Chain A
Amino acid sequence: MSSAHEASARATAVATLGETIPTDAEVTPLDGRRWGMVIDLDRCTGCQACVVACQAENNIAINEENRVLERRAKTWIRIERYWEGEFPNAKARFIPVLCQHCGNAPCETVCPVWATYHNPEGLNVQVYNRCIGTRFCANGCPYSVRYFNFWNPEWPEPLNNQLNPDVTVRTKGIIEKCTFCLQRINRARVTSKNEDREIADGEVQPACVQSCPTTALVFGDLNDPSTTASRLAESERRYTLLENFGTDPSVVYLKKVDPHVEIDHHHGHHAETAGKHA
């Protein structure tokens, strides 16, 4: 989001509302952090603990069977499962997919009301009360991690009593998605400020990271070279999802590629042709 589009939008806003719109320089930058996550696929067992933890932490409604069949289920983090090999020698591979908090996010440029924007700490933020539900962002997202609320969420007794008070219950007609547990980041910011110190490495743990039994998920500041996350992100096993789109994701995946594994040349050729046609 830059240059001509932003300048003209700002000019319109200033003309309507007067000089009360802050410029980017006025929006206080916070220490040049970039929150990010490293997901070690060699550790992931596909147990779905992260998915459950996320549902509980972020007041996500329960996905009943027909919601899933309608493809309107909401899971801010999901485990994608891929099969490798034929039946007797089949192996399951798992990729947890959540909002990639792209540095160059396709969802941010298409929102007509600036309900989604990039904050100074590198988070892709969804402002629920601005959202008018055009769903342009969800269509623009190559990772399919933005979810539209087709209904007001409901919880059966007694689950309605366990809602997290730090997270808004999203109403019908707006888009929602992973926030990197923004409420936990904000809490750590307030706590560290009260104690007059910086946020320590590992102090902020989104619900998925906290619940991962194999510590496949690591969260931290990718701009600070001393954090565990940024050190892992330098690994030679690193890759990012759909790298060729140039979205600059803040989620880095680690996966060892075994050079001795037999490559299925027939299928490989097919994939290549499909790629060229697309």
Chain B
Amino acid sequence: MQYLGALLPRITRLQALVIGLAVTPLLLGGAGVIALLLFLMASGGTVTGAPEQPIAFDHSVHAGEAAIPCQFCHRGVVTEASATIPSVQQCMFCHGVVATDRPQIQLLQAHWETNTPVDWTRVHRVPDHVRFVHAPHIQAGLDCATCHGDVASMSEVRQVRSLSMGDCQGCHRENSASLDCATCHK
């Protein structure tokens, strides 16, 4: 309670104790809130829950039970920047005949018949000043699950890593990949 004595020279010891007991939790609470805000700022990207999709596509059925390789649908991933979302036509290669009686598949077939794309909700997004290119990561032998988590067991895909700059850099440092800003920032 030294600081109170300095601020208010004529205060008694009891008064100082009472004021101290009342004010200290407030100060600690404030510091706690500030620390929490700083932590949230420093932690960068947020890991969000699974967004709702227009069609309840289940990765655990396709990538899990049926064990279809990721590249079968996400065809750009080996050679392009973007892994690419398959077109309705590609879904229809199978779903022209497979499980045509289910309501979710009939939603898909409606898109096929009306010649409209499915408006999927994007799950993973890096900021606009970052250019992430899938190809070199796959070529380097990284598993998709390294960044995307165990998608084969997810009914609804959600982001599992922060994908913040520190997240990328940690991995780049471990694998002696480039740490030059210009490699990722555009």
User: Looking at the complex, which one of A119, A121, A128, A194 makes contact with B79 (CB distance below 8 Å)?
Assistant: A194
**Taking A22-B173, A183-B131 as contacts, is the C-beta distance between A28 and B179 under 8 angstroms?**
yes
Contacts A128-B129, A182-B182, A194-B79: A28 and B176 contacting too (C-beta < 8 A)? yes
Cβ contact of A186, chosen from B131, B176, B177, cutoff 8 A = B131
B131 touches A190 (CB 8 A): no
Contact B139 A194 (CB under 8 A): yes
Once A and B bind, how many residue pairs between them come within 8 Å at the CB atom? 57
Is the beta-carbon distance between B133 and A190 smaller than 8 angstroms?
yes
CA distance A182 to B180 in the complex (A): 13
B135 CB, min distance to chain A CBs, angstroms: 6
Contact A27 B179 (CB under 8 A): yes
A194 to B181, CA, bound (A): 21
Find chain B residues with CB under 8 A from A91 CB: none
Shortest Cβ gap from B6 to chain A (Å): 31
- Map CB proximity to A onto B162-177 as digits: 1 under 8 Å, 0 otherwise: 0000100000010011
Contact of A28 with B180 in the complex, beta carbons under 8 Å = yes
Are A28 and B178 in contact (CB-based, < 8 A)?
yes
Cβ of A30 under 8 Å from chain B? yes
A193, B131: Cα distance in complex, Å: 17
In the complex, whether A125 has a CB less than 8 A from a CB of chain B is yes
Give per-residue flags for A175-211: 1 if the beta carbon is below 8 A from chain B beta carbons, else 0: 0000000110010001001100000000000000000
B133 / chain A contacts, CB cutoff of 8 Å: 186, 190
Chain B residues within 8 Å of A125, by CB: 181-182
| Shortest beta-carbon distance from A199 to chain B in Å | 14
Q: Is B106's CB within 8 Å of the partner chain A?
A: no
Q: Is the C-beta of A168 less than 8 angstroms from some C-beta in chain B?
A: yes
Interface residues on B, range: 20 to 34
Asked if A128 meets B185 with Cβ closer than 8 Å, knowing A22-B179, A168-B129, the reply is yes
Whether A234 sits at the interface, judged by CB under 8 Å, is: no
Residue B186 interfacial (CB < 8 Å): yes
Residue of A nearest to B134 (CB): A190
Q: Which of B116-175 contact A (CB under 8 A)?
A: 127-129, 131, 133, 135-136, 139, 166, 173
Q: Check: A129 CB closer than 8 A to any chain B CB.
A: yes
| Complex Cα–Cα for A68 and B133 (A) | 37
Q: Is the CB of A127 within 8 A of B177?
A: no
> Contact between B180 and A27 (Cβ–Cβ < 8 Å)?
yes
CA of A121 to CA of B176, assembled, Å: 17
Give, as a whole number of angstroms, the nearest-CB distance from B182 to chain A: 5
B:10-64 near A, CB below 8 Å: none
Determine the chain B residues whose CB is within 8 A of the CB of A169 once the complex forms.
128
Contact flag A168-B186 (CB < 8 Å), given A194-B79, A194-B135, A194-B136? yes
A30, A128, A129: the one contacting B180 at CB < 8 Å is A30
Q: Does A26 contact B173, Cβ atoms closer than 8 Å?
A: yes
Chain B residues positioned under 8 Å from A186 (CB to CB): 131, 133, 182-183, 186
Closest to B172 in A: A28
A249 at interface by CB-CB < 8 Å: no
A120 on interface, CB distance cutoff 8 Å: yes
- Residues of B at the A interface (CB closer than 8 Å) are 79, 81, 127-129, 131, 133, 135-136, 139, 166, 173, 176-183, 185-186
Q: Mark A residues whose CB is within 8 Å of B.
A: 20, 22, 26-28, 30, 117, 119-121, 123, 125, 127-129, 166-169, 182-183, 186, 190, 193-194
Question: Which 7 pairs between the two chains have the least Cβ-Cβ distance?
Answer: A168-B129, A125-B182, A27-B179, A28-B178, A119-B182, A127-B181, A129-B129
- Identify 6 new A-B residue pairs, CB closer than 8 A, beyond the known A27-B178, A166-B131: A28-B177, A28-B180, A125-B181, A127-B181, A186-B182, A190-B136
